[in-house]
Structure 1
Amino acid sequence: MTTSSGAVPGAADAEGAAGAAADITVGGGADAAAVRAAVAPSSLSPSRASDFMRCPLLYRFRVIDKLPEKPSAAATRGTLVHAVLERLFDHPAAERTAPAAKALIPGQWERLLESKPELAELFPEGDEGAGLAQWLTEAEALVDRWFTLEDPTRLEPVEREFFVETELESGLRLRGIIDRVDVAPTGEVRIVDYKTGKAPRPEYAEGALFQMKFYALVVWRLKQVVPRRLQLVYLGSGEVLTYDPVVEDLERVERKLHALWEAIREATESGDWRPRPTKLCGWCDHQAVCPEFGGTPPAYPLMITPRPGGASQGWPAEDS
């Protein structure tokens, strides 16, 4: 992997359509309604794959139980900055300037509020707007920094916020959204992802690249083209991390995803979702229902398939 501070060649087009998982129904009454609303996982994205690797129980809470989570100022700022950088490319090349990008921030923030009114709760009402003003200033700083890392007047993305989906020969469906896809005049593909945090230390770089290799695998399987470059643009620290994948890389990722999906399938059928305590637990919204914090997960909303030779390995009943 290399670290650079300038633009490099560019990335491709892919196609995808969202699929729907079948409802699971049993019995009647309120419990049955909950079961009908729940569906077994039917596809894998980079974020959900990372959730399972971080903590299987977190994956269950997000994918199967769909427990609500409070919006965070940092994540929302990332969404805002992504929207601004996407919309900037609607402008002619010569007009893609830092002032033009920052001028997009208020409008994109209003759009976010319209779609998610609860985001207004991120900022206290009693500070006369000081918290929101500071937050928007921080977003402006991230947008400003991007112009020190890439030159948008020299870029013509083929795709932005691009939904991709493919089904592997095994039947595993992979899906995700790529921030930007560039294609060089020579046909070389570059996949770009914006990060509003800081670049990881070298020993954690492989984990950061997992998402990009996932996208590269999807593009390869869709278009039979191995992306020439994967690029992570870290606006928080002003660094650009790049990696040039080869087929062997993507084959390894594919094997890893198959193993991961098998583990998810087994947990889905058995109801056995184990918590995996880490330092990140302190940031989790689900401590109240996590056994590691003395909580009890909600009743499992899917049908449990007993394992051969004994009962399932799901959470024990309260009276056991």
Structure 2
Amino acid sequence: MDSSMEGTAGGGVDSEADPLPGGAAEAASTDTATAAGTAGERVAVPPASLSPSRAGDFMQCPLLYRFRVIDRLPERPSEAATRGTLVHAVLERLFDAPAAERTAPRAKALVPGQWDRLRESRPEVVELFADDPEGERLARWLGEAERLVERWFTLEDPTRLEPAERELFVEAELESGLRLRGIIDRVDVAPTGEVRIVDYKTGKAPRPEYAEGALFQMKFYALVVWRLKNVVPRRLQLVYLGSGDVLTYDPVLADLERVERKLLALWEAIRRATESGEWRPRPTKLCGWCDHQAHCPEFGGTPPPYPLPTRVTEEPSAGGPGVAPGRAQSLPVQADDGPSAGGPGVAPGEA
């Protein structure tokens, strides 16, 4: 579960997307810290770690990363993101029951209670249905969540599964000092010790040409597990409830080393942008889902004043000839050669 809620002030679910009621995971895995000022205000500090969600943000659009991680601009909840949160919560809770009782009717019966829990822990989601006094749209939305949960039983058999971990927060520090963190939906461990990392997606599976981009998040998690346990996961598995597909990949050490190099380059680009204050927008068709158009120069907006100090260096930038001293460049890092971490055409929040 890669969560787009991670590190945001109020946004929807990540790929990356933090679909945990109560926000405990969100608090534990935010990519940037905040300090309390004398009057209790939130004080921006430089990014200190990287998650799949935030890595995907920067690869999609450096300015979006800034808005979410540094400015922490609020984002409206969306029906798709909140549905992803709800479905994740149901699938997590189902494993509390004995194996024989993990049935589709029981899972569907969990939906109303988990929705109530979500509304209590994250009151902002209530506004999604504020204009639905008769509850008709809410009933349809809950029905869609139930159908996604029910479809899961056609893809996996929970009576034969005993997850070693659910909604597992992981964090590892690389030799470079970069901290990687995230939340894994499910970890299965075979009797032989082989590890499988599983992530649920409530959207549809990407087209084959974008599968590599979709696997970026899973390779990120595999890298963290390898660095923590010195074990390369045997299998990475993406379960797409929206289309009823299962995407699997068996990583090798070279995959994880390649992802680590990519993340180090990405973090260097983030560091330079943080120091210079230059966060360049990268327009794509995903801009249509962005909550921050009013602040984006591509839409005639003006970003808020940069809340961190900037540093102008005297030496020419590493960006090469023709780059003015002190003007950092964003590296055009792509997620495993895909246009974005989630693949094109994937609406944010379809976790």
Report TM bin, short chain.
0.7 to 0.9
Q: Deviations over 1:74-124 (max 9, x none)?
A: 000000000000000000000000011011111110111001112111114
Give 1:62's match in structure 2, choosing from 62, 65, 68.
68
Give 1:256's match in structure 2, choosing from 241, 262, 267.
262
Say which SS state the counterpart of residue 104 (structure 1) adopts: helix
Partner of 1:51: 57
In 2, distance between residues paired with 1:244 and 1:81? 26
The verdict on how the C-alpha distance between 1:200 and 1:121 changes in structure 2, with shifts beyond 3 A counting, is same
Query: What is the TM-score when the length of structure 1 is the normalising length?
Result: 0.87
Indicate if the aligned counterparts of 1:190 and 1:228 stay in contact, CA closer than 8 A. Answer: yes
Unaligned runs of 5+ in 2: 1-27, 316-323, 329-351
In 2, distance between residues paired with 1:286 and 1:121? 19
TM-superposed CA distance for 1:20, in Å, is: 9.3
Query: What is the TM-score when the length of structure 2 is the normalising length?
Result: 0.80
Partner of 1:208: 214
Question: Residue type of the partner of 1:135?
Answer: W
Say which SS state the counterpart of residue 211 (structure 1) adopts: helix
Aligned residues: 293
In 1, distance between residues paired with 2:314 and 2:243? 52
Give 1:169's match in structure 2, choosing from 175, 191, 197.
175
In 2, distance between residues paired with 1:269 and 1:285? 25
TM-superposed CA distance for 1:43, in Å, is: 0.2
Question: Residue type of the partner of 1:285?
Answer: D
The verdict on how the C-alpha distance between 1:234 and 1:23 changes in structure 2, with shifts beyond 3 A counting, is closer
Partner of 1:76: 82
Q: Deviations over 1:147-197 (max 9, x none)?
A: 000000000000000000000011010000000000011111000000000
**1:1-320 superposed matches below 5 A:** 37-309=43-315, 312-313=326-327
TM-superposed CA distance for 1:24, in Å, is: 8.1
Say which SS state the counterpart of residue 256 (structure 1) adopts: helix
In 2, distance between residues paired with 1:201 and 1:18? 30
Say which SS state the counterpart of residue 236 (structure 1) adopts: coil
TM-superposed CA distance for 1:311, in Å, is: 6.8
In 2, distance between residues paired with 1:29 and 1:43? 25
Q: Between Structure 1 and Structure 2, whose CA radius of gyration is higher?
A: 1
Higher percent of residues as helix: 1
In 2, distance between residues paired with 1:29 and 1:291? 33
TM-superposed CA distance for 1:313, in Å, is: 3.8
TM-superposed CA distance for 1:23, in Å, is: 6.4
Q: Deviations over 1:26-63 (max 9, x none)?
A: xx999xx97x7101000000000000000000000000
RMSD of aligned Cα (Å): 2.2
Partner of 1:9: none
Higher RCO (CA 8 Å, separation ≥ 6 residues): 1
In 2, distance between residues paired with 1:94 and 1:115? 30
Unaligned runs of 5+ in 1: 1-16, 315-320
